[in-house]
Amino acid sequence: MVDQHLIDVMKKLQAESKQRKFLESVELAVNLKDIDLSNPKNRIQEEIVLPNGRGKQIKVGVFGSSEMAVKAKGVADVIIQPDEIETLASNKAKARKFAGQSDFFLAEAPLMPTIGKRLGVVLAPRGKMPKPIPPGSDPKAAVEKLRSSVTVRTRDRKTFHLPIGTKDMPPEKLAENLDAVLKRLMTKLERGKLNIQSAYVKTTMGPSYKVM
């Protein structure tokens, strides 16, 4: 069961936020404490599946051979075959644009070293290095999972943000997404809840509401 407090916060957020000409995301901001993020082992980079999805279309790209490309057709938003990797890597502007057009990437495991060497400089800083999948496998399940996922990425900063849905989602579903993120985060922190100084939710352009 989700804490009623979280549902009430979401209801208040929706009721008090102004109408915009675009669909606002609902974002979570977390402030950590008593943790040394200058030490890489204490940093968090985690994909969390939201139980009710992101509330909007999430784009996933797949790096794969011709067999994988056939299976990914109609499932992935972008398909990159091995001979296209070098073409992308040779044009930095094109590579940056490519990296920005998808939220997540998958890749056949044997391609990972090449992708890391040729496109890592573009993908890694954005937290978009592909998730490896077995050669020739059906990527559908992995793609669908990523479409409902968000990335928690602290780097060396004690404050970080991530989307948990959109303003038009039912408050109960937003609260469930929020609850899932907070619980997963606590399992990754050395001292759990004690490492969280505060947490707030807000719409893209709206005020913040404290949840912790």
Domain boundary among 146, 173, 200: 146
Q: What average pLDDT does this structure show over 5-25?
A: 93
Which pLDDT band holds residue 13 (cuts at 50, 70, 90)? very high
* pLDDT of 1: 84
Are residues 50 and 71 part of one domain?
Answer: no
Statement to judge: residues 65 and 137 lie in one domain: yes
d(CA 36, CA 195): 11
Q: Render pLDDT for 100-128 as a digit per residue (tens, 0 to 9).
A: 999 999 999 999 999 999 999 999 999 89
- The CATH number covering residue 127 comes to 3.40.50.790
State the chain's mean pLDDT as an integer: 94
Same domain, 69 and 137: yes
Burial class (CB in 10 A: 0-12, 13-18, 19+), 43: middle
Q: In this structure, are 68 and 137 located in the same domain?
A: yes
Domain boundary (146, 164, 180) is at 146
166 and 92, same structural domain?
Answer: no
DSSP string, 76-105: SSEEE-HHHHHHHHT-HHHHHHHHHT-SEE
> Does 9 share its domain with 66?
no
User: What pLDDT score was predicted for residue 136?
Assistant: 86
Q: Is 196 helix (H, G, I), strand (E, B) or coil?
A: strand
The verdict on 140 and 64 lying in the same domain is: yes
* Residue showing tokens 């609902």: 26
Number of structural domains (the chain) is 2
What does the pLDDT look like over 126-153, one tens digit per residue? 989 999 999 989 999 999 999 999 999 8
pLDDT of residue 25: 95
- Domain end position, chosen among 97, 124, 146: 146
Give backbone dihedrals phi and psi of 48, rounded to 5 degrees, phi first. Answer: -120, 125
92 with 142, same domain: the answer is: yes
Residue 177 has pLDDT above 90, yes or no: yes
* Burial status of residue 40 (CB atoms within 10 A of its CB: 0-12, 13-18, 19 or more): exposed
CA distance 162 to 60: 18
Closest CA to 115 of 149, 140, 146, 84: 84
- pLDDT, residue 70, reads 93
Longest dimension (CA), the chain: 53
Query: Is the pLDDT assigned to residue 155 strictly greater than 90?
Result: no
| pLDDT reported for residue 49 | 95
Runs of H (alpha helix) within 50-166: 66-72, 82-89, 92-100, 112-123, 140-147
Q: How confident is the model at residue 171 (pLDDT cuts 50, 70, 90)?
A: very high
Q: Are residues 71 and 130 in the same domain?
A: yes
- For residues 188 and 122, give the distance between their C-alpha atoms in angstroms, rounded to a whole number: 27
Averaged pLDDT for residues 22-34: 96
Cβ-Cβ contacts under 8 Å for 169 (sequence gap 6 or more): 26, 52, 55
Across 8-35, average pLDDT: 94
**CATH for 10:** 3.30.190.20
pLDDT digits (tens, 9 = 90+) for 63-80: 999 999 999 999 999 999
Claim to verify: residue 64 and residue 78 sit in the same structural domain: yes
Q: Do 51 and 64 belong to one domain? A: no
How would residue 45 be classed by pLDDT, with cut points 50, 70 and 90? Answer: confident
Based on the fold, state whether residues 141 and 71 are members of the same structural domain: yes
> Please, what is the Cα angle at 177 between 137 and 183, to 5 degrees?
90
What is the residue range of 110's domain? Answer: 60-146
